[in-house]
Amino acid sequence: MKVVIQRVTKASVTIEGEKVASIENGLLILLGIVNEDTLEDITWLSNKIVNLRIFGDENEVMNRSLKDTNGDVIVVSQFTLQASTKKGNRPSYIKAAKPDVAIPLYEDFVNQIEKDLGKKVQTGQFGADMKVELLNDGPVTIIIDSKNKE
């Protein structure tokens, strides 16, 4: 399971002209899932994300977490995070999990973030053509792969 986390002052997701998610201060999380991902990956990743100290304290030092700041979250599924660009110029998405595997894991990930954060998380729509808009704060962008936790 791979995520790109972006600290934002605002973010939104629009599908077919309709805004389906919108937050102010918090995180936009892009999530890519592979067949080998498990509930263990979800638990580890969610805990890491909500406790990651990437928000400024009173001295503007990145010392506060999403939990500390009561920040909001949007989670967007993005199979292209699992692209392989090793050969040729056309990315291969063979590692990305198919919907029958990915959708339940995506939903479990959202539920785990909500549980760990103690509040509702907004989402895009799995498999939809989404327009994602954000104002990256910092900019702070971090990539985490649950397969590299050791």
Q: What is the pLDDT of residues 36-59, one digit of tens each?
A: 999 999 999 999 999 999 999 999
Task: Say what the pLDDT of residue 149 is.
Answer: 79
> pTM of the prediction?
0.95
Task: Say what the pLDDT of residue 53 is.
Answer: 98
- Please indicate whether residue 38 is annotated as part of the active site: no
Closest-CA residue to 13 (of 3, 22, 24, 5): 22
What confidence tier does 13 reach under pLDDT thresholds 50, 70, 90?
Answer: very high
Q: Which residues contact 93 (CB under 8 A, 6 or more apart)?
A: 79, 80, 82, 83, 84
Task: Say what the pLDDT of residue 38 is.
Answer: 96
Task: Say what the pLDDT of residue 66 is.
Answer: 97
Tokens of 42: 């979800």
The CATH class for the domain spanning 2-148 reads alpha beta
126 φ/ψ angles, rounded to the nearest 5 degrees: -55, 130
Task: Say what the pLDDT of residue 112 is.
Answer: 98
**Cβ-based neighbour number of residue 43 at 10 Å:** 16
d(CA 130, CA 138): 24
60-116 pLDDT tens trace: 999 999 999 999 999 999 999 999 999 999 999 999 999 999 999 999 999 999 999
The partner residues of 101 in beta bridges, in order of sequence, read: none
Tokens of 85: 């660009």
Spot the catalytic one: 80, 85, 123, 141. 80
Domain ranges for the chain: 2-148
Beta strands in the chain (DSSP E): 2-15, 18-23, 26-32, 55-56, 62-64, 72-77, 122-123, 130-145
The partner residues of 135 in beta bridges, in order of sequence, read: 10
Give Rg (Cα) of the chain. 15
